[in-house]
Amino acid sequence: MELIELGGPVVIVLMALSVVGFAIVLYKTLQYRAYSKGKQCQTDKAINHWVAGESEAALAALAGRGSPLGKLLHNGITWLTEQRDSEDKIREELTRQGQQIVTRVNSLNSFIELIAYLSPMLGLLGTVLGMIDVFSGLANDGGGADTGVLAGGIWEALLTTAVGLTVAIPFAMIHAMLESRATTIRRGMENQLTRLFTAKLSEQY
């Protein structure tokens, strides 16, 4: 409460952004559990069965898996097994579904980036407003304020910049980690979908 009292409305906005940001981070953490390394290994195992011509074993490896990638590959293997003459249409549909997965994986990451970008700017705005208030008071006093009062006003003004940086730095790191994880998920999905359609080539070579 003392921090809010000293920093004013800007600190309130920064705290609200940080609360919303951490709620989003918690949601993204739970979301990415569906793309864990264990589930990635399971889908890789299924694709290996498919490349080896063992479609039943591939479907069995994917059965009951809650992973979105697992469901995508299960659909692909089922369709390619039952509708061999519709490979182009199946490729289009799987690409569409894959794009939806990528969209969900990347969702809200931009908001985390926005928090990291806006927080120091809001902190600087608070500092500028505080400095304006300090010098306005000095002008009204005719320049008679002592050094202690001036220093107190300045450090209170600088407080919002410190709060802004405190919010921005961790969210910048979190955004980088979320983006890295999203890229890993996307590349893994692209690799598995490519292997799904190039299995015949793999058999030849």
Q: Report pLDDT digits (tens) over 15-53.
A: 999 999 999 999 999 999 888 888 888 888 889 888 888
pLDDT tens digits, 90-148: 899 999 999 999 999 999 999 999 999 999 999 888 888 878 777 776 666 655 555 55
Is the Cα torsion angle 22, 24, 26, 28 positive or negative in sign? negative
Q: What is the pTM of this model?
A: 0.81
pLDDT band at 170 (very low <50, low <70, confident <90, very high): very high
Q: What is the pLDDT, as a whole number, of residue 142? A: 58
